[in-house]
Amino acid sequence: MNIAAVITSQFRSLWTVLQHTFTKADTVEYPEEMPALFPRYRGRIVLTRDPDGVERCVACNLCAVACPVDCIALQKAEDEHGRWYPEFFRINFSRCIMCGFCEEACPTYSIQLTPDFEMCEYDRQNMVYEKEDLLIDGTGKYHDYNFYRVSGKSIGGKDKGEAENEGEPIDIKSLLP
Amino acid sequence: MNESIGSPLQIAGILIGVILTAAWLIWVERRMIGIWQDRLGPNRVGPLGLGQVIADMIKIFFKDDWIPPFADKAVFVIAPVIIMVTMLTAFVVVPFAPGIGIIDFNFGLLYFLALSSLAVYSAVLAGYASNNKYALLGALRAAAQTVSYEVFMGLSLMGVVMLSGSFNLREIVEAQRDGWFCISQFFGLLVFLIAAVAESHRSPLDLPEAEQELIAGFHTEYSGMKFGMFFVGEYLGVTLSSAMIVTLFFGGWLGPVLPPLVWFCLKTTIGILFFVLLRAALPRPRYDQLMMFGWKVMLPIALVNLVATGGVALWLES
Amino acid sequence: MPTIEIDGRSYEVEAGANLLSACLSQGLDLPYFCWHPCMGSVGSCRQCAVIQYRDAHDVQGRIVMSCMTPAADGARISIEAPEVKAFRAEILELLMTNHPHDCPVCEEGGECHLQDMTVMTGHTFRQYRGKKRTHRNQYLGPFIHHEMNRCIACYRCVRFYRDYAGGDDLGVFASHNHVYFGRHEDGVLENEFSGNLVEVCPTGVFTDKTLSEHYTRKWDLQAAPSVCVHCAVGCNISPGERYGKLRRVINRYHGEVNRYFLCDRGRFGYGFVNSDRRLRKAMIEKQPAVSGEAAQQRLSFLLAQQRGKVIGIGSPRASLEANFALRERLGADYFYAGFGVDEHPLITAIAEIMQSSCARIPTLREIEQSDAIFILGEDVTNTAPVMALAVRQAVRNASFEIADRLHIPRWQDEAVREAAQQEKSPLFIASCDRTRLDDVATATFRKAPDDLARLGFAVAHLIDPEAPAVTDLSEQERSEAEVIAGALKRAKRPLIVSGSGCGSLAVIQAAANVALALPEKAKALSLVVPECNSIGLAMMQGRLLNEAFQLASTGAVATVIVLENDLYRRAERVVVDRFLAEVEHVVVIDHIGHETAEQAELVLSAGTFAETEGTLVNYEGRAQRFFPVLAPADDIRSAWQWLSDAPGQTDWRHVDDVISALAQRLPRFQSCRDAAPFASFRITGMKIPRQPPRYSGRTAMRANITVSEPKAPDDSDSALAFSMEGAESARPPALNPGFWAPGWNSNQSVIKFQDEINGHLRGDDPGVRLIREAGRASWFREIPDAWRVLSDQWLLAPIRHIFGSEPLSALSAPLAERIPEPYLALNPDDASRLEVGEGESVELELLPQMERRVLTVRLSAELPAGVAGIPVGLPGLPGTAFWKAAKLGTIS
């Protein structure tokens, strides 16, 4: 161990820190000045719709299981044509740590974090958001993706074999190879 | 000596002044660390955020003054009082300026050393009384650290005593008219500075309350004004240490043009800011490193310094 | 035991195994699809490839399918060699070419064997850019959802459905990558074990429709070790709960009882727990009680009023603890068993035979090993379905013997079947009507119950001349008996199956005689009883229900406590009506609303198997404990709590106290204490969590009610916790809520819990046998006379239905769809004599009460003349077989 280096490093640290007396503070004085937030800022969570305007969430529960604070709860329901959707979708924002794992886990781009963090409440109960509070009218950050166009499950308006990269349903009575 | 030393007016003035300084340090420290970390620090309450001190005071006074049911109640209450009392009584001997002070002891330096040693009882008793493993560990660390650093804290000052030939702090200041002891006693200053940081449990040597390891060490269980007393006690310690460094090594009130009291306050403020800078810049060592550093580095330096100073003093005399 | 070397390490493996099961037995991970521990190997999926080396000098080796290769002594293989890992990943990629992008909307997701194996092989990127083949789905009935796109063509479904369970309406169509697994047209899957396709299918082609109704992923289901309550087999199940509702039931492996499979009644009959007809609030005079305590006080008041005039009626579907609490509260003299008036003597006789006979009571595993079976008067598929599945496997023992002679390993499934062709072990079925096992029977005999008994007695006499002989045997009967007796005598492990199914005591006695006549050490007798705790209740020796009715008519009964029982299912309507009118205060403790409860003054809401803890004794006398999967809400309490909470009554605090008291009071229940560890059991100081480690949504599930999360309910009665925190490993099987192992999210993970593949659970299978074979029993000598057709009167023979004969499962909506309409089965000759045809109405005049009923006719060619089949428990029909005879006539 180089003793001289150890000692000088202490003084160099002191000097370096002291120099910062004259640098400008990085602090943005919110709320007088609004910070510039980027589109991928991890703030309030929303549920988006697919390009056809139907809600994207298929109630697969992956966001809920990815959530480290377990603040997402939902229940799957199914319409008469087999499309899955959440019967309820609840986020307890008083527990949410805005980690964005739910967005990473989401296979349909439904759940997205937005650059909005101004959601304080005096009553904690108001931090519980239901589906009607979360669902927005747009596609959010991903404009083109529509999960059901690539999945094999048939839903209303998309029969078997009509998804991307899908062949016509097999006629099992046919003898042709 | 000056008649006015120890007049009731002075006592009241110094008491209020010292406590206000300590309270004001809360703001100074947060603001300075903010600046050095490219932030702003508290700037919302009052002009420049100075009202923060008042806001903090109001908050801390009105907090629930809670004593844990498992604690040793009497000791738990006494512990924070000890640090306040020892720190405030230590200020008795500080020579602010000619004619300004409370008592002019001939053994002023020894008095200061004695009281600063007593302060460790505060940490030890608090840790013991809390009946909590983190508090106890903090108290043990405080005891060991204080005992270790006490040794060469005293030794480091003996050079100053040899050079000035007195334990009287005012005489030590007067002895520096020819040159501040920070030059001749550079190693003494270094050792005393480090020991003072350790004695007042300041970062980077704040192992008794290292929050990453011990939550808050010996005062884990404290809240409200009892915690406030530890808090203010620490800043009193910082102020006292700075005042003593200024007195012993930087010529106390001596200085041109400006009145002596202003010089003293100015120098003390710079000392305090240096303490804050240490906290802002340096990381905390490991506990074994701290002990190793104390016994194997600081103690030999202090001893060598003592012997060398004695030799030089004898040589000059002969 | 052979020693094989896997990746340079030596392992001792079981003899005769294949490499795949040897590797899995050693805890090594090796992916597979078409292999199933219970169905052997066919080597079709190519997924379980390993490299086999000739000797120590062979560094190249060759790829073999581990499921098709015997684990011979000295074999050297590698699972980890890069070549074979790449091979497996390529095979998986090929299997996945057509697999749709469906996992988020697939019910199998999260417990999918295909997902697990994909992760295991390391296939992460799809290179295939062509079009995926698609298929149209079929409607397969209320239980199973079909999604053919997901199929990877492993053939497991048809191998289970056709080869294992004997179904014939699921097949494979088309060829090459067009293969299609389904029915020839849309329609209900008829087999009683179709629900197992959900677990057998490695991916989401067949999924649980009832779960999909209220879908929850496996990681979100709170589970508990439980026992099926829908028949006397006592299959171990793992029910799953979320949001206070029971969501599904899946199989929980038990090495001696159900092993891998459940019947559809057990799997889909759980709906009654969530039913609207559940009793959730205590009711006093049809008004909801102010509180549970108020109802409890009312009970104490009623009991204090008329000491000595209070009787209790127990129930064969209530736990031992509940029945015992009632018996203790009122005294043994005032405890009536609550069996149907007709079935009480039958079940008492069965329990008596089981406890005194020297015949072994085989477990289902032992039944599978029998090489000759004689079923006397029981339609096992409809009364104890999983036992029928075991019987179906037993007839394959002949083919295993052929395979052994040809040195074909038994797990070489296709080869064994090819070698055996139609060769089957002898199975004789003597019954009133056709049964679902007829297709594998060597011979079937259709007779009236008395004649069945005579056939049994005759067989017994032929095997052992000491057995009482049947005097006036006809020539045909004699030759039938000789065939059966000959086969049983030749067998090494013969088995007699009978039971209370056809409502005849003589049949049961005849079966006992046959078992007794078998040679020493080969005596095996399985007697089927109808309900989950019939044997346990019979062992408690309650009094006859008819005695209670008589006592009430003398005015000696002021209060009756009916425990989990609908009296209208147990006796004639007029009798029950009269009884309930004669008794001043009627108290019903039950979890489900029924006619008896409607007439009760005080209704106390008990918990179902999903909310309470208790012990059930199955058909073989095995006491098994079930644990609550959901915390009881509202006024729901265990029946024993209602009966013991009264101040100063007992010092029972926990269910363990009740069990201890039971073991002390009735020594024959001594060992039921050991059925499962007590509540004080801990693993390194921790309880066992009911929730999987990745249970989600804890802080949001109830946030709509209040954002502050409530404390998880305490379970002071068991070593299980309503939590996801606790002991993750070393759980005793009796307390293991379900199977999961890292990388094995599907129920296939059970291989990680077995001592060897298809073996017992590590740490011993749960439950404890209360009954062991005793000393030699004496012969039954009361042989009935030959039955004669009466010209104007029909004998009513009970017909049991897997769906409908059991009242609780009948309340489950999907299962209710499968319940047949009430009918009367008639021989075509009899029908034409009455001038009625299929679907036409016929009027019954029940004897002796002369009550009149109208039913539609269903023709059954195999019914003996003069016998009419009456389905038990269907709406409007008796819950037990207490209609004995009737005159039939067309509606005037």
Closest CA to A21 of B239, B49, B31: B31
Residues in chain A whose Cβ is within 8 Å of chain B: 10, 13-14, 16-18, 20-21, 23-27, 29
Q: Hey, which residues 107-126 in chain A have their CB within 8 Å of chain C?
A: 107-108, 124-125
Buried b / exposed e across C488-510, counting CB within 10 Å, b at 16+? bbebebbbbbbbbbbbbbbbbbb
Q: Hey, which residues 63-102 in chain A have their CB within 8 Å of chain C?
A: 64-65, 67, 69-76, 78, 84, 88, 90-92, 94-95
CB atoms within 10 A of CB B151: 16
For chain B, state the CA radius of gyration. 20
- Give a yes or no: residue C431 inside a domain: yes
Cβ contact C128:C97 at 8 Å: yes
Question: With contacts defined as CB-CB under 8 Å, which chain A residues touch B282?
Answer: 10, 13-14
Question: With contacts defined as CB-CB under 8 Å, which chain B residues touch A21?
Answer: 35-36
Of the CA atoms within 13 Å of residue C594, those in its CB half-sphere come to 23
Residue with tokens 């055996």: C420
- Give a yes or no: residue C101 inside a domain: no
Q: Is A26 in contact with B281 (Cβ distance < 8 A)?
A: no
Longest alpha-carbon distance in chain A: 88
Average the pLDDT over B39-49 and give the result: 87
Q: Hey, which residues 19-38 in chain B have their CB within 8 Å of chain A?
A: 34-38
Number of domain units in chain C: 5
Task: Say which residues have a Cβ less than 8 Å from residue C128's Cβ, sequence separation at least 6.
Answer: C93, C97
| CATH number, domain containing residue C495 | 3.40.228.10
> What's the complex ipTM?
0.89
| Sequence ranges of the domains in chain B | 8-310
- Give a yes or no: residue C701 inside a domain: no
Q: Is B35 in contact with A24 (Cβ distance < 8 A)?
A: no
- Could you tell me which chain B residue has the CA closest to the CA of A7? B282
Q: Is A152 in contact with C215 (Cβ distance < 8 A)?
A: no
| CATH number, domain containing residue C643 | 3.40.50.740
- Are C425 and C376 contained in the same domain? yes
B22 pLDDT more than 50: yes
Cβ contact C408:C838 at 8 Å: no
d(CA C782, CA C449) in angstroms, rounded, equals 14
Torsions phi, psi for C424 (to 5 deg): -135, 155
Ranges of beta strands (E only) in chain A are 45-47, 72-78, 84-92, 111-113, 128-129, 166-169
Q: What is the pLDDT of residues C626-655, one digit of tens each?
A: 999 999 888 899 999 898 865 555 678 889
Residue with tokens 């309910």: C713
Buried b / exposed e across C624-658, counting CB within 10 Å, b at 16+? bbbbbbbbbeebbbbbbbbbbbbeeebebebbbbb
Q: Hey, which residues 242-281 in chain B have their CB within 8 Å of chain A?
A: 277-278, 280-281
Q: Is C174 in contact with A73 (Cβ distance < 8 A)?
A: no
| CATH number, domain containing residue C34 | 3.10.20.740
Total-model pTM: 0.84
Cβ contact B112:B191 at 8 Å: no
Contact call for A and B: 3+ CB–CB distances under 8 Å: yes
Question: With contacts defined as CB-CB under 8 Å, which chain B residues touch A24?
Answer: 38
- Could you tell me which chain A residue has the CA closest to the CA of C213? A77
Instruction: Quickly list DSSP for A112-135.
Output: EE-S------SSGGGGEE-HHHHB
d(CA C190, CA B205) in angstroms, rounded, equals 79
Chain C interface includes A149 (CB < 8 A) = no
Chain C interface includes A45 (CB < 8 A) = no
Residue with tokens 């477990």: C363
Residue C647: the pLDDT is 54
Buried b / exposed e across B292-301, counting CB within 10 Å, b at 16+? ebbeeebbeb
The DSSP output letter for B145 is: H
- Give a yes or no: residue C659 inside a domain: yes
Q: Is B39 in contact with A26 (Cβ distance < 8 A)?
A: yes
Q: Is A10 in contact with B282 (Cβ distance < 8 A)?
A: yes
Q: Is C104 in contact with A130 (Cβ distance < 8 A)?
A: no
Closest CA to C828 of C795, C803, C864, C794: C864
Distance set, CA C633 to CA A161, C98, C245, C588 (Å): 47, 47, 11, 19
Q: Is A25 in contact with B35 (Cβ distance < 8 A)?
A: yes
Q: What is the pLDDT of residues C272-303, one digit of tens each?
A: 999 999 999 999 998 998 888 889 888 888 88
How many inter-chain contacts (A to B, CB under 8 Å) are there?
34
Closest CA to C232 of C495, C527, C432: C527
Extract the residue ranges of chain C whose pLDDT is less than 70. 645-650, 776, 892
- Calculate helix-pair angle for B224-249, B8-36, nearest 10 degrees: 100
d(CA B171, CA C38) in angstroms, rounded, equals 99
How far off is chain A from C210, nearest CA to CA, in Å?
A: 13
Q: Pick A61's closest partner by Cβ from C696, C701, C708.
A: C696
- Are C69 and C153 contained in the same domain? no
Helix (H/G/I), strand (E/B), else coil: B109: helix
Task: Say which residues have a Cβ less than 8 Å from residue C321's Cβ, sequence separation at least 6.
Answer: C613, C614, C615, C638, C639, C640, C655, C658, C659, C662
- Give a yes or no: residue C230 inside a domain: no
Question: With contacts defined as CB-CB under 8 Å, which chain A residues touch C102?
Answer: 151-153
- Give a yes or no: residue C562 inside a domain: yes
- Tell me the residue length of chain C: 892
Contact call for A and C: 3+ CB–CB distances under 8 Å: yes
**Window from A159-163, B213-217, C449-453 with minimum mean pLDDT:** B213-217
- Are C381 and C458 contained in the same domain? yes
- Are C10 and C152 contained in the same domain? no
How far off is chain B from A13, nearest CA to CA, in Å?
A: 6
Chain A interface includes B147 (CB < 8 A) = no
- Are C572 and C654 contained in the same domain? yes
Chains that touch A (3 or more CB pairs under 8 A): B, C
Ranges of beta strands (E only) in C692-826 are 720-721, 768-769, 794-799, 823-826
Question: With contacts defined as CB-CB under 8 Å, which chain C residues touch A105?
Answer: none
Helix (H/G/I), strand (E/B), else coil: C378: coil
- Are C416 and C444 contained in the same domain? yes
Distance set, CA B184 to CA B10, B160, B164, B176, C50 (Å): 33, 9, 12, 10, 81
- Are C799 and C864 contained in the same domain? yes
Residue with tokens 């004789």: C428
- Are C374 and C504 contained in the same domain? yes
Residue B176: the pLDDT is 86
- Are C585 and C639 contained in the same domain? yes
Cβ contact C751:C37 at 8 Å: yes
- Give a yes or no: residue C233 inside a domain: no
Beta bridge partners of C856: C823, C841
Q: Is A14 in contact with B40 (Cβ distance < 8 A)?
A: no
Amino acid C526 reads S
How far off is chain A from B101, nearest CA to CA, in Å?
A: 33
Q: Is A168 exposed, middle or buried (0-12, 13-18, 19+ CB in 10 A)?
A: exposed
Q: Which domain covers residue C151, as residue numbers?
A: 135-213
Q: What is the pLDDT of residues C832-858, one digit of tens each?
A: 988 888 888 988 888 877 788 899 999
d(CA C328, CA C649) in angstroms, rounded, equals 10
Q: Is A24 in contact with B280 (Cβ distance < 8 A)?
A: no
- Are C370 and C468 contained in the same domain? yes
H-helix segments, chain B:
8-36, 52-62, 73-90, 108-118, 120-130, 133-164, 169-174, 181-184, 186-199, 211-214, 224-249, 260-281, 287-292, 299-317
User: Binning pLDDT at 50, 70 and 90, where does residue B2 land?
Assistant: very low
- Rounded to the nearest angstrom, the gap between the alpha carbon of residue C552 and the centroid of all alpha carbons in its chain is 37
Residue B1: the pLDDT is 46
- Are C362 and C323 contained in the same domain? no
- Are C71 and C154 contained in the same domain? no
